[in-house]
Amino acid sequence: MKCGLSELVITPPLGSEIPGAGVRRLSTGVKDDLYVKAFVLETERQTMAFVVLDAIDVRRQEVEAIRQRAAGMTGLTPEWIGVSATHAHTSGPTIRTTYVTAQDDAYLQFIVERSADALVMAWNKRQPARIGFALGKEETIAYNRRFRMKDGTVRTNPGVGNPDIVGPTGPIDPDVAVIRIDDANGKPLGIVTNYACHADVVGGLEYNGDFPGELSRSLKRMYGESLVSVFFQGASGNVNHIDVSGRSRFVRETHYIKMGRILAGEVIRQRERAQTADTLPLLADRGFVTMNYRKPTEAEVAKAREVLAAPERYPQTEVRLAEQALELAERADEQAEVEIQAMALDKDTALVALPAEMFVEFGLDVKARSPFAMTIVNELSNGSVSGYVCTPEAYAQGGYENRIRHYSRHEIGAGQLFADKAVELLQQLKRQISAAAEKRSRAAKCKLYAYRRRRYRP
């Protein structure tokens, strides 16, 4: 087993846009630098690479450009390169042109080059390594953000201490999955963390990697500045940091630091418990599903016309959503080919890479049906589609996430399509690993039998 890791700064110039707030924001400073992190895993049978950006999302165009550029400079195969985003809401302008955020072609080209460079550097740094896995829990920093109200409606983030809240509509995923990566002598090289919570804590006009950035700094303080901390965002479309009960004290300027350090504590504990090995049965597979894009319903079109007839009576966000709804209603039917990746890291551990902002229920469903004891679910991967992937119940309930817009208009059953394909791939990988293990066992038994015959032959 060999592994290489690297990280590069991708902070944009000041004055660039900061997407993810529903209003246009131009950056005025840098609270903390933004990074792209890369790591490569190599065995005799399989090589896989991952690149993760401090970004709200990464488009398919950039994903393919990163893959091709990196593959052309290394021995990597494009389809076994995974590209994902941490979903930091104080990051650079990487998303599609919308009514709020303009497309920044210069920055998009920059992140392609830097991401590919990070992969090349990780490739060149490959060295004998020991890898271990552990699974912990953290239940105090993430909350489901959709709530049933006393009037029967469902609201997203209805406000701290709101007396009309009945309760959350769904769960969280408290799993903290940790991959420990050491060199052959046990020196820490990297840590991969998987946790499900919106990275939308900081706000403001300064670039910042949110709580995954503080997680990285905390781990570097523990294990040295050369450590590379990679964060895989879990299925967190309806999960964020807001405790509406008010029991958790919130100070916007420092809460992301608190979250990152709390998460780091659990990561450190699990990293120290992880047992490492210098060989892994690394396998990978991927598949595609065809997804239909949803069009506005008659009721949504009627509401949009009502809003635009008197826009001064509605918030700007409502006006923009109404404009998009009417435009989308005029479009022809559209489809998307959606890529799902799956990797078996060892006989008990696997990873699936899903697109967009998956509701937490889908991540939990994949884990429950996975044949692996520990399954890492990494959303916002490979750029096939973007936006919220809601449960069918959420579409019926209302709220914020299910509203149709340019970047979020999946068919109502899309989440189950993605989850089912992920589980199918995981099951195929498990069968391959089991078959290989059985083959090795038979070979070992034959070898032992032959030895005994030679040893005890009269």
Cα dihedral 242→244→249→255 (10° resolution): 10
The tokens of 99 are what? Answer: 């009514």
pLDDT score, position 361: 99
Chain centroid, CA 226 distance in Å: 24
H/E element, 229: strand 228-233
Confidence at residue 285, expressed as pLDDT on a 0 to 100 scale: 96
Q: What is the DSSP-derived secondary structure letter of residue 96?
A: P
Which residues neighbour 82 within 8 Å (Cβ) at sequence distance 6 or greater? Answer: 48, 49, 50, 51, 341, 343, 353, 378, 381, 382
Q: Assess whether pLDDT exceeds 80 at residue 456.
A: no
Residue 325 scores a pLDDT above 60: yes
Percent of the chain with pLDDT over 70: 96
DSSP-assigned beta bridge partners for residue 337: 290
**pLDDT given at position 110:** 98
Q: What is the pLDDT of residue 257?
A: 97
How far apart are the C-alpha atoms of 360 and 236, rounded to whole Å?
5
Would you state the pLDDT for residue 393?
95
The pair phi, psi for residue 49, each rounded to 5°, is -140, 150
Residue-wise pLDDT for 104-136, tens only, equals: 999 999 999 999 999 999 999 999 999 999 999
Contact 212, 169 (CB under 8 A): no
Count Cβ atoms within 10 A of the Cβ of residue 388 and give its class: 0-12 exposed, 13-18 middle, 19 or more buried: buried
State the average pLDDT over residues 260-289. Answer: 97
pLDDT at 137: 99
Query: Would you state the pLDDT for residue 107?
Result: 96
| pLDDT at position 97 over 60 | no
Question: What is the β-pairing status of strands 165-168 and 146-149?
Answer: antiparallel
Give the E-state strand segments of 43-114 in sequence order.
47-53, 81-85
Task: Reply yes or no on whether the pLDDT at 96 is more than 70.
Answer: no
pLDDT at 247: 85
How many residues appear in the chain? 458
Lowest-pLDDT range, 153-162, 246-255, 431-440, 442-451? Answer: 442-451
Task: Spell out the residues 6+ positions from residue 441 whose beta carbon is closer than 8 angstroms to its own.
Answer: none
Confidence of residue 98 (pLDDT cuts 50, 70, 90): low
Q: What is the mean pLDDT of the chain?
A: 93
Q: In the numeric block, which tokens belong to residue 287?
A: 């598949």
Tell me: pLDDT of 458 over 70: no
CB of 164 closer than 8 Å to CB of 158: yes
Mean pLDDT within 180-191: 98
Strands 374-378 and 357-358: unpaired
Instruction: Say if residue 358's pLDDT is above 80.
Output: yes
> Residue 22 pLDDT > 80, yes or no?
no
| pLDDT (0 to 100) of residue 206 | 97
Which pLDDT band, with edges at 50, 70 and 90, does 9 fall under? very high
Distance CA 68, CA 79 (A): 9
Tens-digit pLDDT profile for residues 23-52: 889 999 999 999 999 999 999 889 999 999
Q: Which two tokens stand for residue 288?
A: 């595609």
Please determine, for residue 316, whether its predicted confidence score (pLDDT) is greater than 90: no
Give the pLDDT confidence of 143-169 residue by residue, as tens digits. Answer: 999 999 999 999 999 999 999 999 999
In this prediction, residues 61-90 reach a mean pLDDT of 97
